Amino acid sequence: MLWFFMAVREIKKYPDPILKKKALPVKNIDGAIQRLIDDMLDTMYSAPGIGLAAPQVGESKRIIVVDVSAREEGRPLIILINPELIKAEGKVESEEGCLSVPGYVSKIHRAERVFVKGLDREGRPVEIEADGLLARALQHEIDHLNGILFIDRMSPIKREFFKKRYLRRLKAKV
């Protein structure tokens, strides 16, 4: 059974300080990076989630994985190292959540279409044009690399409400 070879990592939860840090670019795509990517995939699929950024598993590195195929058929798995948002067009509002902010969703404005560049896991340049949920997921994960969570994109009033409720619930759990 493949299960025994899986490496599911602990997902860092808000307000863990690593989630606020700007992640560093990957310089060498070596074995350690390959293992990190494998761990990120195992962690994302077992959560289950549609995307994950390296800081969410405690690694301040510019790597994201996105797989929205469960909700948008035919979309491929995307693994991006040092991703860059080159172009963003249009504006849409839709519900969003995050594995690092469990139990909360909020309507968030995002660009409708994006053009993203980066490297695949072999270090080859990739260009992605996306819309729909894939565009949203890419923006959400690239935000993580810049220390931005979806709650940072809520209106200040909504964010204050959220923080109070979330932190109260966090305290209740301890």
Q: Which of 10, 95, 122, 141 is catalytic?
A: 141
Q: Does 114 engage in binding with Ni ion (CB under 5 A)?
A: no
Q: Compute the Cα dihedral for 82, 85, 122, 2 and give only its sign.
A: positive
98 binds Ni ion per the rule CB under 5 A:
yes
Instruction: Take residue 7 and report the two structure tokens written for it.
Output: 């490496």
How many Cα atoms within 13 Å fall on the side-chain side of residue 77?
A: 13
| Number of residues engaging Ni ion in binding (CB under 5 A) | 1
Query: How far is 134 from 66, CA to CA, in rounded Å?
Result: 8
129 in Cβ contact with 113 (< 8 Å): yes
Q: Does 54 bind Ni ion (CB under 5 A)?
A: no
Task: State the residue number with the nearest CB to Ni ion.
Answer: 98
Q: Would you call 96 a catalytic residue per the annotation? A: no
Stretch that binds Ni ion, among 57-65, 93-101, 120-128, 130-138 (CB under 5 A): 93-101
The residue (of 78 and 98) whose beta carbon lies closer to Ni ion is: 98
List residues near Ni ion by CB under 5 A: 98
